[in-house]
C-alpha cells in the first residue's frame, strides 16, 4: 500500500536521490533538463509515493513548456521513477494516472513526454506529427496526450522552455 502526497521541499533530496538511482549517470545532460532550467515545476502535479514505513517508493514531476510559434502551453511529464524494490507493482501507473487526472482537473490541456511508446500508450500517449523536441532526442520517443478534445489540433513546432 502506498500513500500519495504532493512533493514538498523536505522531499527534494530524497526525490533527487531516487532519480539518480533510477536513471543513468549524467541524466541532467539530457535535453529535457534544458527545458527545465530556471523554470519552477508545476507543484500541484509533483507527487511522491511512500510505503507503509514512510520510505520514498516513487515520484513524478511536471514542468510547463511552450510549443511552436503560437506558444501553446503544455506540460512536460518527467521524470517519473519508482524505486527498484517496488518496480513491477503498478506504482508508476498510479503516479501517472493520478497526476494526469489532477492536470485535467486544474485546467491543463496537453502533456508531452519523451519515453517508451509501448509503456505510455496505455495512458493514451501517442506520437504526434508536427512536434519537435530539442536535440539530441529520438523523435520516435516524443509522445503527447490531449487532456481534452481537440487540445492537440494544430499544435505544432518546437517544444521550448516556459517563458511568461
Q: pLDDT tens digits, residue range 97-115? A: 999 999 999 999 999 999 9
**If you search the block for the grid coordinates 549517470, which residue do you land on?**
25
Q: Per-domain residue ranges for the chain?
A: 3-161
Nearest partner of 75 among 23, 126, 144, judged by Cα? 144
pLDDT at position 29: 60
Give the C-alpha separation, 7 to 45, whole Å: 8
Condensed to tens digits (0 to 9), the pLDDT of residues 37-89 reads 899 999 999 999 999 999 999 999 999 999 999 999 999 999 999 999 999 99
How far, in whole angstroms, is CA 81 from its chain's centroid?
10
- The CATH superfamily of 3-161 is Gcn5-related N-acetyltransferase (GNAT) (3.40.630.30)
Give the C-alpha separation, 113 to 39, whole Å: 17
Amino acid at each position: 500500500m502506498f500513500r500519495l502526497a504532493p512533493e514538498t521541499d523536505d522531499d527534494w533530496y530524497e526525490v533527487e536521490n531516487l532519480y539518480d538511482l533510477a536513471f543513468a549517470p549524467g541524466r541532467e545532460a539530457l535535453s529535457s533538463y534544458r527545458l527545465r532550467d530556471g523554470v519552477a515545476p508545476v507543484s500541484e502535479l509533483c507527487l511522491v509515493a511512500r510505503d507503509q514505513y514512510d520510505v520514498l517508493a516513487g515520484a513524478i514531476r511536471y514542468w510547463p513548456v511552450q510549443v511552436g510559434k503560437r506558444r501553446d502551453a503544455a506540460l512536460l511529464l518527467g521524470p517519473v521513477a519508482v524505486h527498484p524494490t517496488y518496480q513491477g507493482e503498478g506504482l508508476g501507473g498510479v503516479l501517472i494516472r493520478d497526476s494526469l487526472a489532477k492536470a485535467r482537473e486544474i485546467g491543463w490541456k496537453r502533456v508531452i513526454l519523451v519515453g517508451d511508446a509501448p509503456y505510455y500508450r496505455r495512458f493514451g500517449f501517442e506520437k504526434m506529427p508536427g512536434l519537435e523536441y530539442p536535440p539530441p532526442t529520438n523523435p520516435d520517443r516524443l509522445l503527447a496526450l490531449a487532456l481534452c478534445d481537440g487540445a492537440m489540433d494544430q499544435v505544432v513546432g518546437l517544444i521550448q522552455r516556459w517563458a511568461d
